[in-house]
Amino acid sequence: MATLWNKGTACTDEVEAFTVGNDRVLDLKLARFDVQGSKAHIAMLKSVGLLGDDEWKKLDAALDDIAADIEKGRFVLEDDVEDIHSQVELLLTRRLGDIGKKIHSGRSRNDQVLVDIKLFLRSELKDLRGEVLDLFAKLQSLSEKHKDVLMPGYTHAQIAMPSSFGLWFGAYAEALVNDMYMLGGAYKVVNRNPLGSAAGYGCSFPLDREMTTRLLDFASPDYNSVAAQLSRGKSEKCVASAIGAIALTLNKFASDCCMYMCPNYGFIHFPDALTTGSSIMPHKKNPDVWEMVRGKCNRILAAEGEIALMCSNLPHGYHRDYQLLKDVLFPALELMHECVRMTAYMLDYIEVNEHILDSPLYEYLFTVEEVNRRTLAGTPFRDAYRQVGEEVNAGTFHYGGATGSAGRGQLSVSDLGHTHIGSIGNLCNDKVAELMSAAAAW
C-alpha cells in the first residue's frame, strides 16, 4: 500500500485492514480540502525559497487539475493507496516526478489532516448555518400566520394553560437562535490554522504560518505547535456539541408533532403522502418522518459523548485513536443535514386545527384565566384561586370569559389579555429575528 511514511517495510494485511478501517471512504470527504491546504502550503514554500517559481507553478496547476477531477466526481482512492494525502501526492509525483515529492516539505501528515478536517468542518458549519436559517424563517412565518389560533399548553403532559400555534412555532424558532450561538462558537474554535505545526513540534524550515493563515482565510494560527495538535478532538467535540444542540431542538419538535398528529389530539395534520400506513390496520397514518427525525437526532446527541470518551486519557501529541473521530462525527453531520432539511420540508405541508378548543376536554384550560379575571375584579388572588379550585372539584367550573363550550371555542388571543413580552399576545417575532441575525453573523 502506498503510504507517506513508508521506509521500505510494510505492515501485514491484517494490520493494514485493522488500522485503516473505514478511513479511506471517509477521506473522500476531505479531498477538496486536502488540495486547498496543499495549494496554500506550496505557495508558502515558494515564498520562503523551498520551491522554485517554476516548480510551484507546475505543482499549483497539477493541484488545480486534481481539484477539477474532485468536483466532477472523477477522483478516486486507488486500492493500494492508504489515504487522501497519499493519493494526492502520488498523482503529483506521477505527473511531475521528483517535484511532486517536494510538496510534503515542512509538513507532517498530522498537521495536514488537521488542516483538512478544520477546513471541512468550517464548510460544514457554514452549510448548516444556511439550513438552520431557512428552517428558522419557516418557523417564524408559521408563527405569524397562525398567531391568533389558540391551542392547549401542557405541563407534566397534562392540560395546563392556553397557548397558541404562534407561540409554539415561535418557540422553536427562538430555540434555533441559541443553537446558532453554539454553531458560531464551534466555528470560532475550528477557524484557526494548524498548518506548520508539523508533528506537533514545528520544524527547522523557515515556514511562514501567517501566510498560510491568510491564504486559507483562517482567523488566526494555532500559535503553539503543541496546542495545534491538542485541538484534534477538541474541534470535533465542539462541533458535535453544536449539532447536538440543534438535534435536541428538532428532537423535541418531532416529539410534539408525533403527539399532535395522534387523533386523540388532532392538533396538526399532514397530507397522506407524508405519512405511512400499516400492513394490517387500513386506517393508520403513521408519523414515520417525525419518528425518524427524533431517532436520528438521538444518534447525533450521542456523538459528543463518544468523542469525549475517545479523546480522554490520552497524553498530548498525536495518537491513532484520533482517526476514529471521523467514524463518529462525519455520519453525525450527515444525519444533521438530513434532519434539518426534512424538518423544513415537512413544515411546507403542515396544517393546523383552528377549532381545537371547541372540545369540552379543554374546559379547565382556562382556570388560571378565571383566577386572574376575578383578581382583576378585586378578589384577592389566593381567594380567587381557592374559589376556582373548589368549582373544579365540584364539577361546576365554567370560564367567566365565555358561555359554555361554544363560547370558549370562539375565543381569540386578544380576548385573553396576554400582552407582556413573549406571551401569546406579544410574540416579539421581530425581536427574535434580530437576535438570529446577530447570532448568525460569523
Task: Write out pLDDT tens, residues 266-288.
Answer: 999 999 898 887 667 767 688 89
Are 280 and 329 found together in one domain?
A: yes
Range 109-112 contact pairs with CB under 8 angstroms and sequence separation of 24 or more: 109/4, 109/5, 109/85, 110/197, 110/198, 110/199, 110/200, 110/229, 110/318, 111/194, 111/195, 111/196, 111/197, 111/198, 111/199, 111/228, 111/229, 112/34, 112/37, 112/85, 112/195
Please, which pLDDT band fits residue 317 given cuts at 50, 70 and 90? confident
Domain assignment present for residue 5? The answer is no
Are 50 and 175 found together in one domain?
A: no
Task: Write out pLDDT tens, residues 392-435.
Answer: 999 988 886 544 444 566 777 888 888 899 999 999 999 999 99
pTM: 0.90
Domain assignment present for residue 152? The answer is no
Please give the Cα distance from 243 to 249 (Å, whole number).
10
In the prediction, which pLDDT does 15 show?
63
In the prediction, which pLDDT does 280 show?
74
Contacts of 145 (CB under 8 A, 6+ apart): none
Are 303 and 328 found together in one domain?
A: yes
- The mean pLDDT value for 198-216 works out to 94
Radius of gyration of the chain (CA): 29
Average pLDDT, the chain: 90
Distances (CA, A) of 134 to 131, 344, 346, 369, 428: 5, 7, 13, 36, 19
Please, which pLDDT band fits residue 338 given cuts at 50, 70 and 90? very high
Phi first, then psi, for residue 348 (nearest 5°) are: -65, -20
SS3 readout for 180-237: HHHHHHHHHHHCEECCCCCCCCCCCCCCCHHHHHHHCCCCEECCCHHHHHHHHHHHHH
Domain boundary among 79, 104, 129: 104
Task: Write out pLDDT tens, residues 236-252.
Answer: 999 999 999 999 999 99
Task: Write out pLDDT tens, residues 70-96.
Answer: 999 999 888 888 788 889 999 999 999
In the prediction, which pLDDT does 18 show?
56
Are 375 and 294 found together in one domain?
A: no
Domain boundary among 322, 354, 386: 354
Least confident of 24-33, 147-156, 322-331, 389-398: 24-33
Confidence check: pLDDT of 7 > 70: no
Are 277 and 183 found together in one domain?
A: yes
Are 299 and 172 found together in one domain?
A: yes
Residue 186: count other Cβ atoms within 10 Å of its Cβ.
26
- The mean pLDDT value for 50-64 works out to 96
In the prediction, which pLDDT does 315 show?
83
> What CATH number is attached to the domain comprising 138?
1.20.200.10
* Residue scoring higher pLDDT (19 or 317): 317
Domain assignment present for residue 127? The answer is yes
339 touches 293 (CB < 8 A):
yes
The grid coordinates listed for 223 are: 500559535
Please, which pLDDT band fits residue 129 given cuts at 50, 70 and 90? very high
In the prediction, which pLDDT does 286 show?
83
- Domain range for 279 is 109-145+164-354
In the prediction, which pLDDT does 83 show?
84
Please give the Cα distance from 241 to 329 (Å, whole number).
11
In the prediction, which pLDDT does 276 show?
81
Are 209 and 311 found together in one domain?
A: yes
Domain assignment present for residue 80? The answer is yes
Range 166-169 contact pairs with CB under 8 angstroms and sequence separation of 24 or more: 166/413, 166/424, 166/427, 167/143, 167/423, 167/424, 167/427, 168/143, 168/256, 169/139, 169/140, 169/142, 169/143
Identify which of 12-16, 350-354, 404-408 has the greatest average pLDDT.
350-354
Are 199 and 318 found together in one domain?
A: yes
Task: Write out pLDDT tens, residues 131-157.
Answer: 999 999 999 999 999 999 999 999 999
Confidence check: pLDDT of 192 > 50: yes
> What CATH number is attached to the domain comprising 81?
1.10.275.10
User: Per the structure, how many domains does the chain have?
Assistant: 3
Are 383 and 406 found together in one domain?
A: yes
Cα 401 to the center of its chain, rounded Å: 44
- The mean pLDDT value for 47-75 works out to 95
Are 136 and 279 found together in one domain?
A: yes
Domain assignment present for residue 136? The answer is yes
Confidence check: pLDDT of 325 > 80: yes
Domain assignment present for residue 150? The answer is no
Are 374 and 427 found together in one domain?
A: yes
- The mean pLDDT value for 197-218 works out to 94
Domain assignment present for residue 7? The answer is no
Are 231 and 253 found together in one domain?
A: yes
- In terms of Cα–Cα distance, which of 155, 139, 170 is closest to 413? 170
Phi first, then psi, for residue 397 (nearest 5°) are: -70, 135
Please, which pLDDT band fits residue 56 given cuts at 50, 70 and 90? very high
Domain assignment present for residue 153? The answer is no
